[in-house]
Amino acid sequence: MKLCKGSKTFIRADVWYELTRFAIRLFSAARHVIDDPLLRSLTFSDWEAALVYFAQKAEEERLVLVLDEFQYLCEDNAALPSLIQRFWDLHGKNSQLFLILCGSQVRKMEREVLAEKSPLYGRRTGQLQLMPLSYRDSGRFFPEYSPKEKIVAYGIGGGIPAYLNRFDPQKTLEQNIKDELLSVQSYLFDEVNFPRNFGLLPNGSGRIGNPVLTSTC
């Protein structure tokens, strides 16, 4: 959980395949940003108890609650979207709670949050899909590279910060390609197959793209 305090109280829970029980316990860390003696000894038993508490704390001031990697929570607890829908209809919408659900797997987020069959359908006030960085912004990862080298690096990283960040700007472009793309132990070596291997793409996706990439390389 990451916490910070400014003009708004902000609470963020990072999940990453943790059990729902553990994810709920993370909310106890809110005692660091919410001045509430009750919270110091309070243990939430379930999602509803935790969410209702934050809605009550948001009756008079804005409270931002972020559930990151939401799709993993839904995998662990398939009823979570329904629980949040019930909570929002009964408590959340009448408070100043700003609930943000975000995740890194677009298809699963669409299914769990945006699809018509989702219990949360029609309850969002906004949505934002983060897009890859532009060529200009990507080039800031390699300030010492020539324009040609930046184009090659951008072509490899595709504007994805996690990919671009693997390249050491102190190394030459050629050395970075050897270390981060061609080495079998490297982070990017099998990344082209990652979405398919982990079920992030529909069956059959990559049948054309992967052979083309292989023949090109």
pLDDT of residue 200 exceeding 50? no
Residue of higher predicted confidence among 10 and 143: 143
Instruction: Show the tokens assigned to 191.
Output: 């990344």
pLDDT at 140: 93
pTM of the model: 0.65
pLDDT at 21: 62
Question: Mean pLDDT throughout 38-50?
Answer: 78
pLDDT at 195: 47
pLDDT at 124: 86
CATH code for residues 2-114: 3.30.370
- Label residue 151 by pLDDT band (50, 70, 90): very high
Per-residue pLDDT reduced to its tens digit, 160-185: 998 999 999 999 999 999 998 888 88
DSSP secondary structure, 148-202, as one string: HHHHHHHHHHTT-HHHHTTS-TTS-HHHHHIIIIISTTSSSTTGGGHHHHTT-S-
Domain boundaries, the chain: 2-114, 135-216
Question: Mean pLDDT throughout 14-21?
Answer: 51
Reduced to 3 states, what is the DSSP secondary structure of residue 11? strand
Per-residue pLDDT reduced to its tens digit, 58-99: 988 898 988 888 888 888 888 899 999 999 999 999 999 999
Question: Mean pLDDT throughout 127-144?
Answer: 91
pLDDT at 204: 44
Which range, of 20-29, 147-156, 169-178, averages the lowest pLDDT?
A: 20-29
Distance of CA 123 to the CA centre of its chain: 20
pLDDT at 141: 93
